[in-house]
Every structure is written in C-alpha cells, then in structure tokens.
Amino acid sequence: MKYLNKNIEELHTLLKNKDIKPIDLVNEAFENIENNKELNAYITLNKEEAIKQAKELENKEVDNILFGLPIAIKDNIVTKDLKTTCASHILENFIPIYDATVVEKIKAKNMIIIGKTNMDEFAMGSSSRTSYFGAPHNPWDHNKISGGSSGGSATTIAARDLLFALGTDTGGSIRQPASYTGIVGMKPTYGRVSRYGLVAFASSLDQIGPMTKNVYENALLLNVICGHDDHDLTSSKKEVEDFTRLIGKDIKGMKIAVPNFFVSDIVNREIIDKLKDTIELLKKLGATVDYIDMKYIDNAVTLYQIIAMGEASSNLARFDGIRYGYSTENPKDIEELYFKTRREGFGKEVKRRIMVGSYLLSGKNAQDYYFKALSIRDDMKQEFTKVFENYDYIIGPTTTTTAYNLTDPMDDPRKSFLDDVLVIPVNMAGLPGLNIPIGFDKENMPIGMQIIANNFEEAKIYQLASILEKELNLNLEPKRGENNE
Amino acid sequence: MEDKLTKEEVLHVAKLARIDITEEEIEKYQVELKQLLNEVEKINEVKGYDDEILIAPWSDNTTLRSDSEGEMLDPKKVIENAPKHSGNYIEVPVVIGESEGA
C-alpha cells in the first residue's frame, strides 16, 4: 500500500485513527527515495534519526495536521547534528551545532526530517548542475534538468517520494525548478520567514519557502515556517495568519496584470500559447486581464548580477579554512591557508561569482555598480507598488523554456542568470511569488505560471492558484519509465 | 576594446577574492570574468531613476532585540567545529613573519 501520494487530509485521518503510524510513512519515504535513487535528489539521508523519531511519536497525540509527516530540507538550511553541505566540497563534512529557525518550527510540529536535498553549490546556478555531488534528474525525463537551485527539493516532490520540502529562493530558485518539474513552489514576501540558519548567499534577496505537489499543502507548510524571529531582525513582525483561508474562494472581479515583458519574444511560443489559454480561462471565471508596460523590469537580471554577486562575495568570505569546513593541508602561512582552502573548496561557478562580486564592491566600483543597482532597485520596487494600486495580481510564465537537457553546455557564465529572467524581478522587489503548473509542452514537460501579489498577500496568491489548480485538474504525477529509458 | 581582461586584472580580482588560481585558469577567467563584467556594464544604460536606494525590501520592520540575556552556543562545540583546534583555542598557521616574531 502506498500512502505518500495521497493528499494530506487522508493521511491525517489515517494517522489520527491509528490506521497507520508515522514509521509506515518514514519507511515508505525511504523506499521511494531508494527506488528513485537515480534521480539524485538527496545529498544526505537522515535514516536512523528519522526512524527513531517516528517510533517516539507513536505514543504522542496526533495534535496537528502535519504531525508525523516526512519532510525534506534543502541542504543550505542548517540542521543540528545532521550534515549540511550547501552542495559544496568546502562544507562536505560540516555538521551544524544548531537548528535553523524553520527547522525548529518543523520539529515543534513533529514533522520528520528525512534528508537534505541536492542543489546548486551555495544555491548559485539554475540547473543544480553546479552541485559537488552531481545534478538531480527531472522525474518527467531523466535526461533533463530539474532546474535550480532547489533542484533536489523539486525532484523529490515531483517524484512523489514525500509530500513536503523546503527550498530557498534568491533569484527564482524555488519557482523555476517548481516550473520545470510540475509542482507548486512559493517564495514568500521577504521577511515572512526567518533566515536564521539559512547559509547566506545574497542576504537582501534570500528567502525560504515551501515546495509541494498542490496548493493546499503548500499553504499549510507556510503556516508553520513563518513568523518573527529575534535571531533575524529582517523577519517581519506581521501577525502569522492562516494562509489556507482564501483557498477555493472565487476570483470574480479580480484584476490581473500581465507585463508585456513577460510575453515578449524571450519566451518560447508554446509557453506563451499555454499562458494565453490560461488567461482565457481566468477571464471566463470572471477576472479581468490587462497587458501593461512596466519600467525597469527588463533590467532585473543586471541588478541581480550586481547585488547577488556582491553580497555573495561578502557572505562567502567566512569560508576561510579556519572556523569550520574544509581546510587545505600544510599551508606555509595564513595567506596560503585562505587562498588554497578557497581554491580547493569552492567550485567553478562559486569562484567566478565571488571574484566578480569582490571586484564590484572594491574601491569606487561600489559606488559605480552596487549603489547604482540599489537605486534602480528602489525605483523598480516603486513600479511594482504602482501596479498593485490598480491590480490584485501580476502573472506571467515562470520560465522562458521548459526543462532542458542535462548535457547542454555550461560554459557560458551568463546562461544561469538568463534562465531566471522572469523570476528575478520578484526577489528584487521583495514580493511573494508562486509557481503553479498550467500544462505541458509537446515533449510532455511541465509548463508553469508565476503568480505575484503585493507584499504579505500570500493568502491571495493561494486563492488564485487553488482556483486554477481545480479548473485545470492536470495529472501531475510523472509516470515511471516513460521518457526515461 | 579587447574582449577579455588582462592577466594582471584577473590576478588582482583573484587576490581581492582570496582565491588562488593557476596559470591555465587565468586564461579562462580572462574571458569568463569579462563576459560577466560586460553584463553588469548594462547598468549604465538604465536611465530615469532617482537617488533613493533600497538596501533591503523591508526596512520598516527592523527593530532591535531587547538587551537581555539569551541562549548561546556551547563554546566547546563551536571550537570543535574548527578544522584545527586545541583546548579552548582555534589553531592557525603563523600570522606574522619570522623576522617580526618574538
């Protein structure tokens, strides 16, 4: 009997009635992961501890809907006594001594951590191919990428190994892999979720968010992980709300904007056609849809390159071979320790970004690039604010193409940024954004749509997403074997 | 304009980043770093924005923690996380030159 492809309410009832025990679900999750081993979704499994925890839960009351359910955590979120590598050689054997705030919150609900998922090294990349541990494969076609940087989390959800995963999104790293693998992924408003214990990449952009197979389960997981945290002073003091409360509510009279940039010739025809079908559906359901021009939105990648690489160079300065992680053998002096440790410990993509970032922040370059980018970023955010004075939502495709081949060239350092051209503006403005699957291309690869709303309007995003999910009623479970010979 | 950085420029950037690079890598970085720098140059084509800067999307909810005693990590465990340590100390190679030494 398979349980982990069921919906959460069914599972909760089974657990509550003691028809199944948490250990059944934990065993099944590990079986699924073993059967899907070739997908390479995980870096570390938490088998012993998960089994132990599941057994302990047998004597506890099933007191919340997430009780006893397995969850996967992206490997840049620290977990006490469980290896956290950031998919990097430099942290290959790093065992954290504390839990990230989101992990504490998950444990408080008695969810069970199954393992740490594969990703781009330090979340830098768009295909998870910069992982020191090799790339995850897309469950829809094993020759294709799962996207990135949260590629492992997307893979394990799409493959139906388990119901819940956490990802992180600095420039699209939840939404883009969610789109490539046909799942639901939410990047919450900047400040919604504490970043304490998330290994920092670009601090003004990073945000942790839920990745699930459907909208309702996504909202349930967000309910658990958000809230103010004294350990992260950028986390919001906004009251924690029930993000499921608008699910299923009709969208009649809702005003939706589609930036012309999102349907320009940078996007594949098939994807635009699918989006247009979805727009027709939305109109039929009583929403109005307008195409609008937005200033600065097409500059987002440039801003991102400057801000993300700059902040990364500063954040990754802490990997010095002294305090934790990998350290080079027998350095002759402290300088050699720094230089060699970082040379041997970091992969190509990370080194490139640190170098460019260091340059952009050095001397007067800081004024010419970084501060200029922050100025334009402010205007871009205002541009979004203006749109939301007249509209409830902004929508568009999540990606310009569907998932491409794992063997496609990686030698152009610009490629990984361009994959995220449609998702980066949301991080720049700190807004919430979600990927919802809207169909398939002719190769049967998933196509995703992005729903963006104003700050702290995640519940409203789930409302629109849930309506589309119901109306489209897509079969989003990849068939084993098909396309995968 | 040559579409790659000079060797000296690459070495300068690598030094800023505290990353050791080999002779053959220099050539590769001359091209790759230039490609990325050409990208960021596009910022100079953007017009019409004002001087206000945005450092983090939400600065209005930033508050200071109360000045009170809190939990802290076990120093022993923190030290043990260091690749080289001895007792309560983290070990590092010689920091000052021998001629300057005691």
The ipTM, to two decimals, is 0.90
Contacts of residue B99, defined as CB under 8 A and 6 or more positions apart, other chains included, come to none
Mean pLDDT, residues B19-47 taken together = 93
How many angstroms separate the CA atoms of A1 and A21, rounded?
A: 13
For residue A394, pLDDT beyond 80: yes
CA distance B2 to chain A (A): 18
Domain boundaries, chain B: 7-44
- What is the DSSP pairing of strand A446-452 with strand A393-397? antiparallel
The answer to whether A73 and A79 are in contact (CB under 8 A) is: yes
How many angstroms separate the CA atoms of B85 and A387, rounded?
A: 56
**Does the distance separating the beta carbons of A317 and B19 come in below 8 Å?**
no
Question: Annotated active-site positions of A, please?
Answer: 74, 149, 173
Closest residue of chain B to A238, computed from CA coordinates: B61
For residue A483, pLDDT beyond 60: no
Angle at B56 between CA B55 and CA B61, to 5 degrees: 125
> If we measure between CA atoms, which residue out of A184, A267, A196, A187 comes closest to residue A229?
A196
**Does the distance separating the beta carbons of B83 and A322 come in below 8 Å?**
yes
Cα distances (Å, whole numbers) of residue A234 to A100, A306, A382, B62:
15, 21, 20, 5
Whether A362 has its CB under 8 Å from any CB of chain B: the answer is yes
CB contacts, 8 Å: B42 with chain A: 299, 302
Q: Quick one: pLDDT at residue B60? A: 59
**Does the distance separating the beta carbons of A351 and B53 come in below 8 Å?**
no
Interface test with B, best of A233, A355, A369, A456 (most B CBs within 10 A): A355
**Does the distance separating the beta carbons of B92 and A337 come in below 8 Å?**
yes
Q: Quick one: pLDDT at residue A233? A: 87
**Does the distance separating the beta carbons of A417 and B57 come in below 8 Å?**
no
Whether A321 has its CB under 8 Å from any CB of chain B: the answer is yes
- Would you tell me how many other CB atoms lie within 10 Å of the CB of residue A230? 13
How many angstroms separate the CA atoms of A71 and A224, rounded?
A: 13
For residue B99, pLDDT beyond 70: no
CATH fold group of domain B7-44: Histone, subunit A (1.10.20)
Mean pLDDT, residues A426-449 taken together = 98
Read off the pLDDT band of A37 (50, 70, 90).
very high
Q: Is the whole-model pTM more than 0.90?
A: yes
Read off the pLDDT band of B102 (50, 70, 90).
very low
**CA A78 to centroid of chain Cα atoms:** 16
Whether A326 has its CB under 8 Å from any CB of chain B: the answer is yes
pLDDT, chain A, mean: 96
Read off the pLDDT band of B2 (50, 70, 90).
low
**Does the distance separating the beta carbons of B40 and A360 come in below 8 Å?**
yes
For residue B62, pLDDT beyond 80: no
Q: Quick one: pLDDT at residue B51? A: 87
pLDDT over 70 for what percent of chain A? 99
Whether B62 has its CB under 8 Å from any CB of chain A: the answer is yes
pLDDT tens per residue, range A94-117:
999 999 999 999 999 999 999 999
For residue A248, pLDDT beyond 90: yes
